[in-house]
């Protein structure tokens, strides 16, 4: 019996990792690269990731670009509307650490989305190539499998095991 359930769990994990619906926040230039990735040439949808319009349907948030203080509030609200389990991907140096707008270089830019939300995968680059973004998504999928194996995905907010 245990065997059957563990196989079922594997099936559920497989389904979850290959049907990520993501909310795409296109905040500046990195967004263009992300659009390109979802477009016909690179086609992120073949990994099962599909873009949705509402945060309520999404289980992955992709933040691409620099975040201003004015937008930080909206970003938080969007994240709170997403159902658990949920993940966050930071695309580009700006979303990762503030990039070239960090600290003394800008008065209005948040130095990394991890100042506001827990981030699962960082994709560095200014901007990262579509291949890098796809690698980020595959890394996240591997991470989800790992998380489910440890059964820790339920509290994804507090613990995000190393991928």
Partner 1 sequence: MSSTEFLEGLKNEFPGAITKIDIGYGQKFAEFSSNAAASIFNVCSTNERGRFDLLEDLLAYDSGDDIVLVYNLYSTLLNHRVILKTSLHRKEPSILTATTVWLAALSYEKEIAELFGVRFKNHTTEIPFLLPKDWQGFPMRKDYVYPGGYSGIAHGSGVERRKR
Residue closer to partner 1 by CB (options 116, 163) is 116
d(CA 122, CA 148): 20
> What residue 108 binds from ligand SF4, partner 1, none (CB within 5 to 8 A, per partner kind)?
partner 1
* Closer Cβ to partner 1, 54 or 108, answer by number: 108
CB nearer partner 1, residue 104 or residue 162: 104
Provide the 10 A C-beta neighbour count for residue 51: 16
**Count of residues of this chain found to bind ligand SF4 when the rule CB under 6 A is applied:** 12
The 18-37 contact track toward ligand SF4, x by CB under 6 A, reads ----------xxx-------
34 in Cβ contact with 63 (< 8 Å): no
Q: Is 130 in the site for ligand SF4 (CB under 6 A)?
A: no
Instruction: Give the number of other Cβ atoms within 10 Å of residue 160's Cβ.
Output: 18
Helix (H) and strand (E) counts in the chain = 5, 5
Residue numbers of the site for partner 1 (CB under 8 A)? 69-70, 72-73, 97-98, 102-104, 107-108, 110-112, 115-116
How many CA atoms lie less than 13 Å away from 10 in the CB half-sphere? 6
């Amino acid at each position: 019996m245990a065997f059957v359930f563990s196989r079922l769990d594997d099936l559920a994990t497989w389904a979850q990792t290959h049907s990520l619906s993501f909310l795409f926040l296109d905040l500046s230039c990195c967004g263009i690269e992300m659009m390109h990735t979802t477009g016909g040439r690179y086609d992120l949808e073949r990994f099962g990731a599909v873009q949705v319009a509402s945060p309520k349907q999404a289980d992955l948030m992709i933040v691409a670009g620099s975040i201003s203080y004015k937008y930080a509030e909206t970003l938080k609200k969007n994240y709170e509307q997403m159902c658990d389990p949920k993940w966050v991907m930071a695309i580009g140096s700006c979303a990762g650490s503030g990039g070239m707008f960090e600290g003394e270089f800008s008065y209005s830019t948040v130095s990394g989305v991890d100042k506001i939300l827990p981030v699962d995968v960082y994709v560095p680059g200014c901007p990262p190539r579509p291949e890098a973004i796809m690698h980020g998504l595959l890394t996240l999928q591997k991470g989800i499998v790992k998380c489910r194996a440890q059964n820790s995905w339920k509290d994804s907010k507090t613990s995000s095991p190393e991928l």
